[in-house]
Amino acid sequence: MAQYTPMIQQYLQVKEQYKDTFLFFRLGDFYEMFFDDALLASKELEITLTSRDGGGEERIPMCGIPFHSSANYIKNLIEKGYKVAICEQVEDPKQAKGVVRREVIQVITPGTVMEGELLDEKENNFIASLTPLDDERFVVAYNDLSTGENSVSFIRDGFDSVLSELFNRPVKEIVVPSDLQETWAEMLTQRLNVTISQEDSVDIPDESKELVQNLKQKELITGFARLFQYLARTQKRAMTHLQPVQYIELSQYMKLDMYSKRNLELTETIRKKGKEGSLLWVLDKTVTAMGARMLKKWLDRPLLSTTEMERRHQQVEGLLEQYFEREALREALKEVYDLERLSGRVAYGNVNARDLIQLKKSLHQIPEIIQVLQDFQQEELAQLADTINPLESLKEILEKSIAETPPLSIKEGDIIKDGYHEQLDQYRDASRNGKQWIAELERKEREATGIKSLKVGFNKVFGYYIEVTKANLHLIPEGRYERKQTLSNAERFITPELKEKESLILESEEKSVELEYEIFIDIREQVKTFIPELQKLAEQMSELDVLQSFAVVSDENRYTRPSFTNGHELHIENGRHPVVEQVMKDDHYVPNDVRMDENRDILLITGPNMAGKSTYMRQLALIVIMGQVGCFVPADRAELPVFDQIFTRIGAADDLVAGQSTFMVEMLEAKHALTKATENSLILLDEIGRGTSTYDGMSLAQAIVEYIHNHIHAKTLFSTHYHELTSLSDSLERLSNVHVKAEEHDGNVVFLHKIQDGAADESYGIHVAKLAELPSPLIDRAYEILNQFEHSESSRVPSANEEEQLDFFAFKEPAQKKQETENSKSVSTAEKTIMDEIKGLNMLNMTPMEAMNTLFAIQQKLNK
Ligand code: ADP
């Protein structure tokens, strides 16, 4: 290292401590990066790579960004998951002996950003820490630095649950111990695609002990401490807005594994990854950013306590019934600013006067909100009014002190009102009087000299001056002014008196700007003392906002209040899919009933592709979730049990887990359901087994249904295209068949999307082929083959109840071969080729259009 220049040595020393970050090294007006940082940053940020001599043998790669436009570059890097350490000059370069002292003043990371443009106002920005206790038990702690909220939970059932939990949150960064098992570390990176950071210090400093006052167990404290230490190490400043850590007992909330949350598209769609088309998109009629964030949190954690759910329903009902009051409440809430994040900025020291004006305006709304709440008939709402603290004294401080339309900067004055501070008023008077005197001077001098165009002006270099055009210079009495500056057609003059006034004005302005800044900091400190109350108020407003949002969607879409059964009864009358219904708008969505009870645990759904099977399944899950988060539901009537977990295997299995086959993903999702579900869970399995060969898939599907029926007793919807499975209703007493009907109208197939009891008509596919005008001998032959299948002993795998020992392969294959030889006897070779072609088609992966085209091609061949 000795060969490097002192500055590069300094750089390397700092960089050593911040290896996993981009080190932004302040040099004058630039942040410079060197060595590998420079190589990578020039690529990531598309900036020019240069080099400099640093004393070593080779030139050092270097690239830099201007300090004043650094925000965008930082944003860019953070969004890509990188961390940035800001290293500033911490002494005046003029005073420095040798290299200017530099220190890292903050590390900005994806999970700890505070800057407005890096935060999505409707989203929390969570950072988590993970602390393994043993192979099965973990502590997960969360923090959102922008709002100050902290929580911690135990996970007691293995690393899969950790993944689901972290996936559900979703977090931007995870802090782990440096000795975390490698396999776990890999899974975190692969599955969650977040920034991973390390922290091994797990003590809470005495001055922050209050944060963990609610936590009883040592493991929880340690778990949170890891996160706290990481925050302290990266932020390097007081974080007085951090709220006491809440212990969250995960078993008090409905569990949604990561597959379900994704499959059901609760907060974003699978394809576009956007909010549009998700349940959140339908339910979000919140009018504040805080409310939007709260709604998302509620959707992440549906409730299990009927008391709590009913309390929410009760309030939604109250809001729904009184339209005008609800609208008044909405209007008032619209003016309520993001109190949560504002508190964060106050504590963090990056709040400006405009924020405080917004705060004041928000506080102005509170009495109105209290008033409106009192007008509600519904008691819970009316009582809420008594619990809200309008923070009058804070409002008064802000009212008296902060100017109504302050500038963004807090260092340029004009932020404090007249009359708030005596000394400030004096400075301002001095400056105003001076300015008035100068204004007066212009009039007096014009009169004295008779020069009408004489004017008094100001510029930054020369200060105040008197300007006279060349043509009028002769009118100035000798010695009246001192010449200061010559322009092409005018001369500028000063007088000793003018300069005296000028220095008075400038001095008092400078002093008043300095004083204003001090006063502002003092007000900010006063606001700081209100942070806990502001956070409480923020929570109350967010909750109200979510409840009114539920009331608005329920009103607009005719949702009804669900009731909860203690047992296993589930009755939904005319249920609808909340999202599909919205997307279809005027096309009429066909409502469907769901009826399940003690004796009807499993519904086996058959019906053609595109009939609406998976929509029906999702619809049930979404109705359940909406009910359990406290919203009304899209149905004429809904009586529901409380579900502890929902498991799904629905829709196109895709690239969720990179490098795993579709079928493997399908099996992983099924495993999840089968190992974790209880009799109080809801399981939705759509076309399970279709990712493998027919008999293989069918056998698996049947075994899974049987397993659920005999061992789990969970309420289950199971859709399948294996028609053979419908006869399971004979052997499994709590399984019932339902089907989605399709009809023919004027030669077209029409999906009625109506679920009916019983199994689907098996010859449906042939029916469609007939409609497509395949040659009639072929159709006849198809019916014949079907008939053979139906009467063949081996068309279905025996249920586990009928036969203890199952040997699927021994059982199926000879039968299949036999069938094939029989078929081949009765058809010509050409027909055989075509039939093989048809057999080989993967109908489930074809669009109706592709199917039609294929049929057309086949028909052409046959006609030849
Ligand atoms: P399947 O799972 O049987 O292949 P889907 O559930 O994917 O069928 O439904 C196919 C399409 O049919 C959906 O995209 C939707 O537009 C429409 N659909 C489904 N259910 C209904 C319904 N109840 N009312 C109206 N249209 C529906």
* Confidence check: pLDDT of 810 > 60: no
Please enumerate in sequence order all residues whose Cβ is within 8 A of that of 553, keeping only pairs 6 or more positions apart, or say none: 282, 283, 285, 559, 631
Ligand 1 pocket residue status of 690, Cβ below 6 Å: no
- Backbone dihedral angles phi then psi of residue 402, each to the nearest 5 degrees: -90, 130
Residues 343 and 482 in one domain: no
DSSP state of 711: I
E-only strand ranges, 495-569: 563-565
Amino acid 571: pLDDT: 97
Nearest protein Cα to ligand 1, atom 10: 610
Give me ligand 1 centre to Cα 620, in Å.
Answer: 14
Q: How far apart are CA 613 and CA 183, in angstroms?
A: 38
Which atom of ligand 1 is least distant from the CA of 719? 2
Give me ligand 1 centre to Cα 295, in Å.
Answer: 28
Give me ligand 1 centre to Cα 604, in Å.
Answer: 17
User: In this structure, are residues 197 and 107 in contact, taking their beta carbons and an 8 Å threshold?
Assistant: no
Which atom of ligand 1 is least distant from the CA of 617? 6
Nearest protein Cα to ligand 1, atom 15: 612
Could you tell me how many residues make up the chain? 864
Q: What is the chain's mean pLDDT, rounded?
A: 87
Amino acid 317: pLDDT: 97
* Confidence check: pLDDT of 814 > 70: no
E-only strand ranges, 409-462: 455-459
The verdict on residue 26 lying in a domain is yes
Comparing C-alpha atoms, which of 474, 437, 471 is closest to residue 456? 437
Lowest mean pLDDT among 272-281, 297-306, 746-755: 746-755
835 is in an annotated binding site: no
pLDDT digits (tens, 9 = 90+) for 49-81: 999 988 888 899 999 999 988 988 999 999 899
Domain boundary among 448, 483, 515: 515
Confidence of residue 303 (pLDDT cuts 50, 70, 90): very high
Nearest protein Cα to ligand 1, atom 13: 612
Candidate of 753, 756, 844 to mutate for ligand 1, largest count of ligand atoms within 8 Å of Cβ = 753
pTM for the model: 0.81
Domain boundary among 557, 576, 608: 557
Confidence of residue 337 (pLDDT cuts 50, 70, 90): very high
Looking up residue 83, the CATH number of its domain turns out to be 3.40.1170.10
Give me ligand 1 centre to Cα 735, in Å.
Answer: 23
* Confidence check: pLDDT of 821 > 50: no
Amino acid 490: pLDDT: 92
E-only strand ranges, 541-674: 563-565, 570-575, 592-596, 602-606, 637-641, 645-649
Which atom of ligand 1 is least distant from the CA of 608? 3
Domain boundary among 763, 788, 820: 763
* Confidence check: pLDDT of 815 > 60: no
Confidence of residue 139 (pLDDT cuts 50, 70, 90): very high
Mean pLDDT calculated for residue range 613-634: 96
Amino acid 795: pLDDT: 46
Q: Which two tokens stand for residue 182?
A: 């490698």
Residues 172 and 92 in one domain: no
CA terminus-to-terminus distance, the chain: 84
* Confidence check: pLDDT of 800 > 70: no
The verdict on residue 695 lying in a domain is yes
Q: How far apart are CA 489 and CA 451, in angstroms?
A: 15
No. of helices (H) and no. of strands (E), the chain: 28, 27
Ligand 1 pocket residue status of 610, Cβ below 6 Å: yes
607 is in an annotated binding site: yes
Q: 477 or 827: whose pLDDT is higher?
A: 477
Residues 745 and 802 in one domain: no
Q: How far apart are CA 443 and CA 392, in angstroms?
A: 49
Candidate of 615, 686, 768, 844 to mutate for ligand 1, largest count of ligand atoms within 8 Å of Cβ = 615
Amino acid 350: pLDDT: 84
Helix (H, G, I), strand (E, B), or coil: what is residue 123? coil
Residues 778 and 635 in one domain: no
DSSP state of 783: H
612 is in an annotated binding site: yes
Give me ligand 1 centre to Cα 605, in Å.
Answer: 13
The verdict on residue 279 lying in a domain is no
pLDDT digits (tens, 9 = 90+) for 651-684: 654 444 444 567 777 787 788 889 889 999 999 9
Looking up residue 590, the CATH number of its domain turns out to be 3.40.50.300
Q: 813 or 511: whose pLDDT is higher?
A: 511
The verdict on residue 603 lying in a domain is yes
297 is in an annotated binding site: no
Return the biggest CA–CA distance within the chain: 129
Range of the domain at 737: 563-763
Mean pLDDT calculated for residue range 441-459: 90
Comparing C-alpha atoms, which of 667, 660, 666, 626 is closest to residue 646? 626
- pLDDT above 70 covers a percentage of the chain that reads 93
Q: How far apart are CA 761 and CA 763, in angstroms?
A: 6
Number of structural domains, the chain?
Answer: 6
Q: 661 or 585: whose pLDDT is higher?
A: 585
Mean pLDDT calculated for residue range 628-653: 90
User: In this structure, are residues 862 and 834 in contact, taking their beta carbons and an 8 Å threshold?
Assistant: yes
Amino acid 836: pLDDT: 80
Give me ligand 1 centre to Cα 589, in Å.
Answer: 9
Ligand 1 pocket residue status of 676, Cβ below 6 Å: no
Amino acid 748: pLDDT: 67
Lowest mean pLDDT among 424-433, 641-650, 746-755: 746-755
E-only strand ranges, 414-544: 455-459, 463-469, 482-486, 490-494
Looking up residue 463, the CATH number of its domain turns out to be 1.10.1420.10
Q: 342 or 832: whose pLDDT is higher?
A: 342
Amino acid 827: pLDDT: 59
Candidate of 263, 269, 580, 686 to mutate for ligand 1, largest count of ligand atoms within 8 Å of Cβ = 580
610 is in an annotated binding site: yes
Amino acid 115: pLDDT: 77
Residues 81 and 133 in one domain: no
Please enumerate in sequence order all residues whose Cβ is within 8 A of that of 436, keeping only pairs 6 or more positions apart, or say none: none
Nearest protein Cα to ligand 1, atom 9: 612
Which atom of ligand 1 is least distant from the CA of 609? 4
Give me ligand 1 centre to Cα 734, in Å.
Answer: 26
Ligand 1 pocket residue status of 753, Cβ below 6 Å: yes
Helix (H, G, I), strand (E, B), or coil: what is residue 665? helix
* Confidence check: pLDDT of 98 > 60: yes
- Backbone dihedral angles phi then psi of residue 638, each to the nearest 5 degrees: -145, 125
Give me ligand 1 centre to Cα 612, in Å.
Answer: 3
- Backbone dihedral angles phi then psi of residue 149, each to the nearest 5 degrees: -80, 145
Lowest mean pLDDT among 188-202, 228-242, 244-258, 799-813: 799-813
Q: Which two tokens stand for residue 102?
A: 């530099």
Mean pLDDT calculated for residue range 518-545: 94
The verdict on residue 267 lying in a domain is no
857 is in an annotated binding site: no
* Confidence check: pLDDT of 583 > 80: yes
Amino acid 823: pLDDT: 47
Mean pLDDT calculated for residue range 377-393: 93
434 is in an annotated binding site: no
Ligand 1 pocket residue status of 619, Cβ below 6 Å: no
Give me ligand 1 centre to Cα 743, in Å.
Answer: 15
Residues 547 and 568 in one domain: no
Comparing C-alpha atoms, which of 631, 797, 642 is closest to residue 704? 797
Amino acid 841: pLDDT: 80
Residues 782 and 736 in one domain: no
User: In this structure, are residues 494 and 484 in contact, taking their beta carbons and an 8 Å threshold?
Assistant: yes
Comparing C-alpha atoms, which of 23, 27, 26 is closest to residue 38? 23
pLDDT digits (tens, 9 = 90+) for 774-797: 888 888 888 888 777 766 644 444
Mean pLDDT calculated for residue range 282-296: 96
Ligand 1 pocket residue status of 589, Cβ below 6 Å: yes
Q: How far apart are CA 178 and CA 186, in angstroms?
A: 13
- pLDDT above 90 covers a percentage of the chain that reads 57
Amino acid 822: pLDDT: 46
Q: How far apart are CA 501 and CA 430, in angstroms?
A: 9
Looking up residue 235, the CATH number of its domain turns out to be 3.30.420.110
Ligand 1 pocket residue status of 575, Cβ below 6 Å: no
The verdict on residue 77 lying in a domain is yes
Q: Give, in degrees to the nearest 5, the angle at Cα 213 between 208 and 216.
A: 130
Amino acid 803: pLDDT: 40
Give me ligand 1 centre to Cα 611, in Å.
Answer: 5
| DSSP character string of 69-83 | GHHHHHHHHHHTT--
Residues 711 and 602 in one domain: yes
Mean pLDDT calculated for residue range 84-101: 89
Q: How far apart are CA 466 and CA 449, in angstroms?
A: 12
Give me ligand 1 centre to Cα 265, in Å.
Answer: 16
Task: Residue 566: count other Cβ atoms within 10 Å of its Cβ.
Answer: 8
Mean pLDDT calculated for residue range 617-642: 97
Q: 134 or 413: whose pLDDT is higher?
A: 134
Q: How far apart are CA 161 and CA 154, in angstroms?
A: 11
Q: How far apart are CA 713 and CA 678, in angstroms?
A: 7
Q: Angle, to 10 degrees, between the axis of helix 339-348 and the axis of helix 353-374?
A: 150
Residues 506 and 534 in one domain: no
Q: How far apart are CA 269 and CA 276, in angstroms?
A: 7
Residues 709 and 598 in one domain: yes
Mean pLDDT calculated for residue range 34-56: 91
Residues 582 and 706 in one domain: yes
User: In this structure, are residues 153 and 139 in contact, taking their beta carbons and an 8 Å threshold?
Assistant: yes
Pairing of strands 735-745, 602-606: parallel
Nearest protein Cα to ligand 1, atom 6: 612
The verdict on residue 429 lying in a domain is yes
Residues 163 and 303 in one domain: no
Beta bridge partners of 130: 140
The verdict on residue 312 lying in a domain is yes
Nearest protein Cα to ligand 1, atom 22: 590
Q: 335 or 840: whose pLDDT is higher?
A: 335
Q: How far apart are CA 699 and CA 809, in angstroms?
A: 9
* Confidence check: pLDDT of 805 > 70: no
Ligand 1 pocket residue status of 291, Cβ below 6 Å: no
Give me ligand 1 centre to Cα 609, in Å.
Answer: 9
Mean pLDDT is highest, among 186-190, 348-352, 647-651, 707-711, for 707-711
Amino acid at 549: S
